[in-house]
Chains A and B, each alone.
Chain A
Amino acid sequence: MSEYPIRIGPVEFKNPWFAASGCFGYGLEYKEHIPPSELGAVVTKTVTPLPRAGNPVPRLQETASGLLNSIGLQNVGLEAYLRDKLPPLVEAGGVPFVSISAASLDEYARMAERLTEFPEVVAVEVNLGCPNVDAGGDRDAAEARAVEHFTRTVKERLPDRAVAIKLTPNVTDMVPLARGAEQGGADAIVAINTLGGMDIDLERARPTFARERAGLSGPAIFPVALLKVWEITGAVRIPVVAVGGIASEREVLKFFMAGATAVQLGTVLFSKPTLLREVRSGVRRFLDARGLTHPHELRIARARETADEGPSQEGGKAWVPTR
């Protein structure tokens, strides 16, 4: 069912509804609520070269309209992923958008080379934004040149796949990072990963999480994500995949208006795994009521747009609200 096809680099996706990394497991855990085949792509839990144990508990804490997590990229590792998790997802009709993270350029190179042997992995998301690990976490990728090198290392080896770079918002300005990714040959930017945050256990008078710092997600971060997406779509020509705080079709529509090409549902899936259905029908209704045929037509003109920073995609014509 290709309702609103979109393109990211060399790959066409049947729709712009993606599941966010870490919020949809390896793609089948929620299959009763969302068959993976209904999503444009399933961004899988980030995998690392070797299995990772993750962080000690507690790993979660709800905050006002948000969720702090300190999972620490617990995952089965690339080889077990390719052997055990990838085939059933493909079997179920899911499009695997494999999220990877590594601690060095060398490790990224080896992961990318291994992935060349798996043509069913049509897309790779490079997670440069995790706040919950030391090596290879957001602080190692908070600089444009580092982002560019990581990007080039992966993209050079996977020219025929969609390579998206997921960036951290935990910097003064994400735009240089996004430009670094574009320079390095990225096919898309994914924004945003979780915001750094923390909590303190009042009874024990000590930080709630062993690593002290954790990642904030959920509705609380939506306005931040929207601003970052807006800034990045105004600065790069490659597609931007928006993620952060989606709780209904309203946030999805706003991301499209800010110029996003696709969206990822994250934390909301934990309590509303069926939200995809509402998003779909809500977006369709909104478009139909305005005589529009594709979400990219929602992209709004910006007063401060310069000639050289125009809309990144053909068809991204400005839409003038009718009411």
Chain B
Amino acid sequence: MGDDEARLQEPRSRPGQFAMLLAKPSQHLVRRPMSILDEGDGWRSYMVKPVGPATRELVATRVGDPLEASEPLGNGFPLPEELGPGPLLLVGGGFGIAPLHFLARRLDAMRHPPKYSILYGGRTARDVEREVLDDVLGPVLPSTDDGTLGFHGTCVDLCVREVERMEQRTASAVVLTCGPHAMMRALFDAVQDRVPTIHVSLEEIMACGVGVCMGCVAHTREGYVPICTHGPVFAAGEIFGFEHQLSHGESAHE
């Protein structure tokens, strides 16, 4: 393989990164953040849940339609070599599975893939789009709150079970998660004592995606920081340790 070819195949975005998207043409003014689901030579895919007008426009586009799209943005998940030897638990709630799919694909492509499993939770079987993970090599453990598919319970409960199982055998697990805020918070509360490394991917309404508008902040030790540039992936302790210390906007004035 020549040098050029190697460069062409060099991955362009990191799992956990997102792009700002709108259909083209669109009725809308600001692009919407979407996690990258997968990427290949000259294409990138997304998994869009139609929750409002701009996402409904996106869902109505077909493969190959033009999109208003930014470059890949944000930091992305840490790489296995930055995470230590423990097995990886990728915990996705609902559409939070998208960046974890990309991560699993990237792990599968490594010369020495680390051990990982995907825990994928939804309210019912209909919320778990199992086919999205068909091209992933690692084990997938679905969970549903009502027990219609896989583990009966939340993906938080499932994760606790997996962590306990692993503790008896290997180095402590690393948890990487993306999903509803309340789910990630519950997950942090449930496993933080046993899992030293937990990374969460946050969501907030965005306008610029590049740290200009200060619209998409999370509260951390440093105060409010833009999720689009400092995240969307954060060490969970950075976020959940400071959530209750929100300072009011006026306090900085004398």
A and B associate: yes
**Chain A residues packing against B (C-beta within 8 Å):** 22-25, 29-30, 45, 48-62, 65-67, 69, 71-74, 77, 103, 107, 132-136, 211, 218-219, 267, 269-271
Q: Which residues of B contact A52 (CB under 8 A)?
A: 249, 252-253
The segment from B6-14, B84-92, B193-201, B212-220 that touches chain A is B212-220
The answer to whether A67 and B224 have CB atoms under 8 Å apart is: no
Residue of B68, B212, B254 near A24 (CB, 8 A) is B212
| Known A22-B213, A25-B212, A74-B214; further 9 A-B contacts with Cβ < 8 A | A22-B214, A29-B211, A52-B253, A56-B246, A59-B216, A60-B206, A62-B30, A74-B217, A74-B249
Q: Which residues of B contact A133 (CB under 8 A)?
A: 249-250
Instruction: Say how far A314's CB is from chain B's closest CB, in angstroms.
Output: 36
The answer to whether B30 and A270 have CB atoms under 8 Å apart is: yes
The answer to whether A58 and B204 have CB atoms under 8 Å apart is: yes
Residue of A25, A61, A74 near B205 (CB, 8 A) is A61
A58-B204, A58-B205, A219-B29 given as contacts; is B253 within 8 A of A50 (CB)? yes
Give complex CA distance A211, B249 in Å.
10
The answer to whether A30 and B212 have CB atoms under 8 Å apart is: yes
Going nearest first, the 8 A-B pairs with the smallest beta carbon separation are A72-B249, A60-B215, A25-B212, A270-B208, A52-B252, A55-B249, A270-B207, A60-B205
Count of chain B residues near A, Cβ 8 A: 33
Instruction: Say how far A143's CB is from chain B's closest CB, in angstroms.
Output: 20
Give complex CA distance A234, B77 in Å.
56
A48-B252, A62-B28, A62-B30 given as contacts; is B223 within 8 A of A53 (CB)? yes
Instruction: Say how far A225's CB is from chain B's closest CB, in angstroms.
Output: 16
Q: Write the chain A residue with the least CB distance to B212.
A: A25
Q: Which residues of B contact A56 (CB under 8 A)?
A: 246, 248-249
Give complex CA distance A269, B212 in Å.
10
Instruction: Say how far A247's CB is from chain B's closest CB, in angstroms.
Output: 9
Q: 7 A-B residue contacts at CB 8 Å? A: A53-B247, A54-B217, A56-B248, A62-B28, A134-B250, A270-B30, A271-B29
Give complex CA distance A238, B250 in Å.
34
Q: Which B residues, 203 to 254, have Cβ-Cβ distances below 8 Å to chain A?
A: 204-217, 223-224, 246-254
Q: Which of A49, A57, A71, A219 has the most CB of B within 10 A?
A: A57
Q: Is B123 an interface residue (CB 8 A)?
A: no
Q: Write the chain A residue with the least CB distance to B250.
A: A134
Q: Which residues of A contact B30 (CB under 8 A)?
A: 60, 62, 67, 267, 270-271
Q: Is B118 an interface residue (CB 8 A)?
A: no
Specify the main secondary structure of chain A where it touches its partner.
loop
Give complex CA distance A59, B247 in Å.
15
Residue of B31, B223, B224, B253 near A103 (CB, 8 A) is B253
Q: Is B176 an interface residue (CB 8 A)?
A: no
Q: Is B22 an interface residue (CB 8 A)?
A: yes
Q: Which residues of A contact B208 (CB under 8 A)?
A: 29, 269-270
Q: Write the chain B residue with the least CB distance to A55.
A: B249
The answer to whether B213 and A23 have CB atoms under 8 Å apart is: yes
Instruction: Say how far B43's CB is from chain A's closest CB, in angstroms.
Output: 22
Q: Write the chain A residue with the least CB distance to B20.
A: A271
Q: Which residues of A contact B211 (CB under 8 A)?
A: 25, 29
Q: Which residues of B contact A271 (CB under 8 A)?
A: 20, 22, 29-31, 68
Q: Which residues of B contact A73 (CB under 8 A)?
A: 249
Give complex CA distance A62, B20 in Å.
14
Q: Write the chain A residue with the least CB distance to B28.
A: A62
A62-B28, A270-B30 given as contacts; is B213 within 8 A of A53 (CB)? no
Give complex CA distance A267, B31 in Å.
12
The answer to whether A50 and B29 have CB atoms under 8 Å apart is: no
Give complex CA distance A229, B199 in Å.
49
Give complex CA distance A24, B213 in Å.
8
A69-B215, A71-B213 given as contacts; is B207 within 8 A of A60 (CB)? yes
Q: Write the chain A residue with the least CB distance to B251.
A: A53
The answer to whether A51 and B213 have CB atoms under 8 Å apart is: no
Q: Which residues of A contact B20 (CB under 8 A)?
A: 271
The answer to whether B215 and A53 have CB atoms under 8 Å apart is: no
Q: Which residues of A contact B54 (CB under 8 A)?
A: 62
Q: Write the chain A residue with the least CB distance to B210.
A: A29
Give complex CA distance A73, B214 in Å.
9
Q: Which residues of A contact B223 (CB under 8 A)?
A: 51, 53
Q: Which residues of B contact A59 (CB under 8 A)?
A: 205, 214-217
Q: Which residues of B contact A24 (CB under 8 A)?
A: 212
Q: Which B residues, 9 to 38, have Cβ-Cβ distances below 8 Å to chain A?
A: 20, 22, 28-31
Q: Which residues of A contact B247 (CB under 8 A)?
A: 53
Residue of A132, A135, A269 near B253 (CB, 8 A) is A135
Give complex CA distance A262, B213 in Å.
22
Q: Which residues of B contact A60 (CB under 8 A)?
A: 30, 205-207, 213, 215-216
A62-B28, A67-B30 given as contacts; is B212 within 8 A of A54 (CB)? no
The answer to whether B29 and A51 have CB atoms under 8 Å apart is: no
Instruction: Say how far A21's CB is from chain B's closest CB, in angstroms.
Output: 11
Q: Write the chain A residue with the least CB distance to B226.
A: A74
Q: Which residues of A contact B251 (CB under 8 A)?
A: 53
Q: Write the chain B residue with the least CB distance to A75.
A: B214
